[in-house]
Structure 1
Amino acid sequence: MQDPFKGFNDDDDDQNNQNGDGPQGLPLPPNYATVVNPETGNMRIAKVGFSWTMFFFSPLPSIFRADWYNFLCIVGVEFGSFMLLSMTTSASQFVAIINYAFTLFFGLVWGSLYNLMYFKHLFNRGFRPADERSRDLLTRTHYWSQPKE
């Protein structure tokens, strides 16, 4: 059995800390990336891949991350779609069925795209991958491409 406390104070990267260092030396899950803004020193850690929280609780994760740009985009698209739906249909039972279908559809869309949208917005604001592991993960998943000098 491995010692759960071994590796937190060691300088070498042993089996307990293979995924890179998060804040205060804690290990990160393999599908999380760290980005930092070199000008301000702000650091953000977020998951790469499908966002289950966005699937179930859309658009609350964008509020919790203070990602107001993507929050307004998501609310605008959903509000516009539901307004268009309500203008084109009249039978209330049919509207309820279509409403559930739209909710599932938007859950899948935002769950698939939100983390990508979040990282792209951070990169536009000047954030860069904080370490080599995050850079490799973001490049491999096509979230990050090397800026052209």
Structure 2
Amino acid sequence: MQNPFDGDNNEGPNGLPVPPNYATVTKADNGDIRIGKVGFSFTAFIFDFWVPIFRGDWYNFFCIAGIELGVGMGFYSIHFTNIQVQASWYSLVELALKLLWGFWYNYMYFRHLFNRGYQPATQRSKDVLANKGYLPKWLK
């Protein structure tokens, strides 16, 4: 297959190319491969807590759901003068949470994979993860 991306990044399953801002991690004991984007997660920004459900990332799902529920319950415990003001402020809070998950979800996903025993599959993936600060100190 012709590589549509620049460079030698054929580290996907069966040698398929991955985009330059993606990293591949593997688990040594069972050979499980995970490929994920490094940087801002537009899917987490748009689809919120559905992303960890579809990735089978239950740890981060419960983290996101807990924070969203806590912020929502705390927000609705505040007394507002009318419902329009409350709805306006809640939409701003919701946008702030979506931006938070957009910037942080991929970082949380890779960190959880590293805690479960995954390692960067290639030196290119290790470099991509290290440049964005995703690698823990014990893995560098």
1:116 matched to 2:98 = no
CA distance in 2, matches of 1:68, 1:40: 20
Q: SS of the residue aligned with 1:56?
A: helix
Q: Which runs of no fewer than 5 residues in structure 2 stay unpaired?
A: none
Q: Which residue of 2 aligns with 1:95?
A: 86
- Contact 1:20/1:27 (CA < 8 Å) preserved in 2? yes
RMSD value over aligned CA atoms? Answer: 1.9
CA distance in 2, matches of 1:6, 1:64: 29
Q: Which has the higher contact order (CA 8 A, sep 6+)?
A: 2
Q: Which letter maps to 2:51?
A: P
Q: Which letter maps to 2:132?
A: T
- Contact 1:54/1:61 (CA < 8 Å) preserved in 2? yes
Q: Which letter maps to 1:97?
A: S
CA distance in 2, matches of 1:85, 1:40: 44
Q: Which residue of 1 aligns with 2:50?
A: 60
> Which structure would you say has the larger Rg?
1
Q: Which residue of 2 aligns with 1:11?
A: none
> Please, what TM-score do these two structures have when normalized by structure 2?
0.90
Distance 1:16 1:140, change over 3 A: closer
**Overall identity of the aligned pairs, in %:** 45
> Please, what TM-score do these two structures have when normalized by structure 1?
0.85
**Alignment length (residue pairs):** 138
1:144 matched to 2:135 = yes
CA distance in 1, matches of 2:119, 2:9: 18
Q: Which runs of no fewer than 5 residues in structure 1 stay unpaired?
A: 8-14
Distance 1:92 1:46, change over 3 A: same
Q: 2:20 aligns with which of 17, 26, 30?
A: 30
1:106 matched to 2:120 = no
Deviations 1:19-58 (A, max 9, x none): 2321111110000000011012111000000000111110
